[in-house]
C-alpha cells in the first residue's frame, strides 16, 4: 500500500507524491513564544513528528523548517488586539526579547522530552524582518495591498479562491472577522501585512523601520517569507493545528499566490484539537494544563506521547488525568516486558517478525493510523511463536515511527538473590503455603519486580 495522507485543501486522502523524488520539503507552523507550552500545542507537534517519522520510515529525506513566532501575533488572531509577547513582557516586568528567549528554550526542551525530532531548520520571525519586508513589497507591486492609518493591508477580494482551504462560505469567514470593527478595511477578511507602531500609549519594544514607516510585521507574513526562503516556491507539506485553517493558513496561502502568482503548498496537514473534559481548554474554565503540570505530577512525558498516539490525528481527543494514568501504565508494561527480552547483541542473524512489520506499514501508510499501529504492537507482544529477539528487532523498527523510547530500555539481569527468592516462592506454592508465597511476591513487588505465575512456574515479567 502506498502512503496516503489527508489533504485539507482537497479534503481527500491522497497518495503522497513528493515534488522531488526522495526529498520532502515540509513547513511546520511553530510556537508563539509568550507563555509556557500547553498540552494542546504538544499534541499537534507530536503528530507532526509522527508524520515526519512516517515519511522517513518510507525512505524520504525530510527537510523540516519550523518558525518561532517571537513578534507580531496579536490576541484574537486578528489585527486589532495587543501583541502577545509585548503583553507578557509587561506583566512579567521583563523585556519582550527575554520573554521570547525564555519560552522558546522551554518549548524545545519539552519537544526533546517528548521525543519530537528537532526541525532541520528553526527560524525566528525577528531574524527575518528583511525577508518579510521584501515579500510585502512584492505583494504591493502586484497590487494586492493597500494602506490604512494603522498599517498595510492585504486585499483578500483579489484572490479568487480565498476560502478554498477552509471550504467555508465567504459569508461565514467574514462573520468571524466582523468582531474586529476596522472601518478602514476594504473587506472584513482583509488582514495586516505590516502594522505601524501606535502613536499613542507605551512605545513598542519590538519595532523596525520599513518603506511604510516604523512598525512590525503582521502575523501571517513570517510563514510565507520563511517558507519560501528555506524551501523555495514549491513546498510538499505544510502543517499546523486545525485552528489555523480559516485565518492563518488561509491568509498565508493568499500571500503566496499574490507574491508568486501560484499556490506554493501541495498538501496541508492539520491536527485536530485536544480538549479537556470535553471542552476547549480555557484558563477561566480551570481546565487548562501546561506540559509542566504533567511532569510536576511525576508522569513520564512519554506517557503523554503514548496518550496522543491512542487517537488518530484528525479526531479530537479528550484529555483526562485517568487517561494519562492508563497511558503511563501501558507504557510501563511495554518497558517492563522489553527489559526481559533477549538483548539484541547480534541483530543481523534475526529476521524479525515480517508479517507484523507489513501490517504496521499498512496502518501507518493509511493516513497515519497510529492507534491501529499501536494495537499491532500489543499483538506482537502477546505472540509467543517468535523469539523475543525477533520481536525485539521488529519493535525497535516500529519505534522509529512511534518514538516511545524503546531503544533506551535496559536489559534486566536478574540477580542471584531474586532468583533465590523466586525458587523459595515456587517451593512454598507447591506446598500450598499461599500466605508465605504471597509475602515473597509482595516483597519483590516492592522492589519493582513484576511476577507472573505460568503453568511452567513463576517468571519475572520485568521491573518497573
Question: Interface residues with ligand AMP (CB under 6 A)?
Answer: 29, 31-32, 40-41, 43-44, 240-241, 243-244, 271, 273-274, 281
What's the closest the beta carbon of residue 128 comes to ligand AMP, in angstroms?
17
Q: Which residues fall within 8 angstroms of residue 462, CB to CB, at 6 or more apart? A: 335, 336, 337, 338, 339, 340, 412, 449, 450
CA angle 121, 124, 128 (to 5 degrees): 105
Looking at residue 69, what DSSP letter applies?
A: B
- Which three cell numbers, joined as nine digits, stand for 224? 510565507
What's the closest the beta carbon of residue 420 comes to ligand AMP, in angstroms?
51
Name residues contacting Zn ion, limited to 17-46 (CB under 5 A): 29
What's the closest the beta carbon of residue 370 comes to ligand AMP, in angstroms?
16
3-class state of residue 130 by DSSP:
helix
The H helix count followed by the E strand count for the chain is 15, 15
Binding-site size for Zn ion (CB under 5 A) equals 2
Residue 273 binding target from Zn ion, ligand AMP, none, CB below 5 to 8 Å by type: ligand AMP
What's the closest the beta carbon of residue 200 comes to ligand AMP, in angstroms?
28
Residue 9 binding target from ligand AMP, Zn ion, none, CB below 5 to 8 Å by type: none
Name residues contacting Zn ion, limited to 220-239 (CB under 5 A): 223
What's the closest the beta carbon of residue 223 comes to Zn ion, in angstroms?
3
Residue 126 binding target from ligand AMP, Zn ion, none, CB below 5 to 8 Å by type: none
CB closer to ligand AMP, 31 vs 152:
31
Cβ-contact 337, 378 below 8 angstroms: no
Residue 243 binding target from ligand AMP, Zn ion, none, CB below 5 to 8 Å by type: ligand AMP
CB closer to ligand AMP, 125 vs 281:
281
What's the closest the beta carbon of residue 31 comes to ligand AMP, in angstroms?
4
> Across-strand partners of 48?
none
Cβ-contact 407, 396 below 8 angstroms: yes
Task: For 180-225, give the DSSP string.
Answer: T--TT-SSTT-EEEEEEPPSSSSPPSS-B--TT-SEEE-TTHHHHH
Q: Which residues fall within 8 angstroms of residue 358, CB to CB, at 6 or more apart? A: none
Residue 223 binding target from Zn ion, ligand AMP, none, CB below 5 to 8 Å by type: Zn ion
* Residue 336 contacts Zn ion per CB under 5 A: no
Binding site for Zn ion (CB under 5 A): 29, 223
Amino acid at each position: 500500500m502506498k502512503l496516503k495522507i489527508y489533504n485539507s485543501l482537497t479534503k481527500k486522502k491522497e497518495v503522497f507524491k513528493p515534488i522531488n523524488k526522495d526529498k520532502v520539503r515540509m513547513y511546520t507552523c511553530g510556537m508563539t513564544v509568550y507563555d509556557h507550552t500547553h498540552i494542546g500545542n504538544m499534541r499537534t507537534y507530536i503528530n507532526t513528528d509522527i508524520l515526519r517519522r512516517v515519511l522517513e520510515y518510507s525512505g524520504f529525506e525530510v527537510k523540516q523548517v519550523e518558525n518561532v513566532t517571537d513578534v507580531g501575533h496579536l490576541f484574537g488572531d486578528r489585527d486589532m488586539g495587543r501583541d502577545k509577547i509585548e503583553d507578557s513582557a509587561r506583566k512579567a516586568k521583563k523585556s519582550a526579547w527575554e520573554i521570547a528567549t525564555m519560552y522558546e528554550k522551554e518549548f524545545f526542551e519539552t519537544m526533546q522530552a517528548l521525543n519530537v525530532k528537532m526541525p532541520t531548520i528553526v527560524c525566528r520571525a525577528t531574524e527575518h524582518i528583511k525577508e518579510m519586508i521584501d515579500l510585502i513589497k512584492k505583494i504591493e507591486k502586484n497590487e494586492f495591498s493597500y494602506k490604512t492609518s494603522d498599517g498595510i493591508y492585504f486585499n483578500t477580494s483579489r484572490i479568487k479562491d480565498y476560502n478554498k482551504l477552509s471550504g467555508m462560505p465567504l459569508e461565514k469567514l467574514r462573520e468571524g472577522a466582523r468582531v474586529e470593527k476596522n472601518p478602514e478595511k476594504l473587506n472584513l477578511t482583509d488582514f495586516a501585512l505590516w502594522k505601524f507602531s501606535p502613536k499613542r500609549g507605551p512605545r513598542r519594544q519590538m519595532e523596525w523601520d520599513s518603506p511604510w514607516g516604523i512598525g512590525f510585521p503582521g502575523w501571517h507574513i513570517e510563514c510565507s517569507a520563511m517558507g519560501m526562503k528555506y524551501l523555495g516556491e514549491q513546498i510538499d507539506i505544510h502543517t499546523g493545528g486545525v485552528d489555523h485553517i480559516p485565518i492563518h493558513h488561509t491568509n498565508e496561502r493568499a500571500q503566496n499566490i499574490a507574491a508568486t502568482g501560484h499556490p506554493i503548498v501541495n498538501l496541508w496537514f492539520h491536527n485536530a484539537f485536544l480538549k479537556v473534559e470535553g471542552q476547549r481548554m480555557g484558563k477561566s474554565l480551570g481546565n487548562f494544563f501546561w506540559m509542566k503540570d504533567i511532569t510536576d505530577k511525576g508522569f513520564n512525558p512519554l506517557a503523554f506521547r503514548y496518550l496522543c498516539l491512542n487517537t488518530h490525528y484528525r479526531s479530537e481527543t479528550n484529555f483526562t488525568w485517568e487517561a494519562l494514568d492508563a497511558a503511563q501504565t501501558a507504557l510501563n508494561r511495554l518497558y517492563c516486558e522489553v527489559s526481559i527480552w533477549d538483548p539484541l547483541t547480534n541483530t543481523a542473524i534475526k529476521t524479525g517478525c515480517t508479517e507484523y512489520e507489513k501490517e504496521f506499514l499498512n496502518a501507518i501508510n493509511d493516513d497515519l493510523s497510529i492507534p491501529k499501529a499501536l494495537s499491532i504492537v500489543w499483538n506482537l507482544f502477546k505472540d509467543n511463536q517468535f523469539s523475543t529477539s525477533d520481536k525485539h528487532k521488529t519493535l525497535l523498527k516500529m519505534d522509529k515511527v512511534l518514538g516511545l523510547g524503546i531503544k533506551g530500555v535496559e536489559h534486566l539481569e536478574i540477580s542471584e538473590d531474586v532468583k533465590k527468592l523466586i525458587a523459595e516462592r515456587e517451593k512454598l506454592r507447591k506446598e500450598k503455603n499461599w500466605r508465605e508465597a504471597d509475602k515473597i511476591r509482595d516483597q519483590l513487588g516492592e522492589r519493582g519486580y513484576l511476577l507472573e505465575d505460568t503453568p511452567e512456574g513463576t517468571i519475572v515479567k520485568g521491573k518497573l
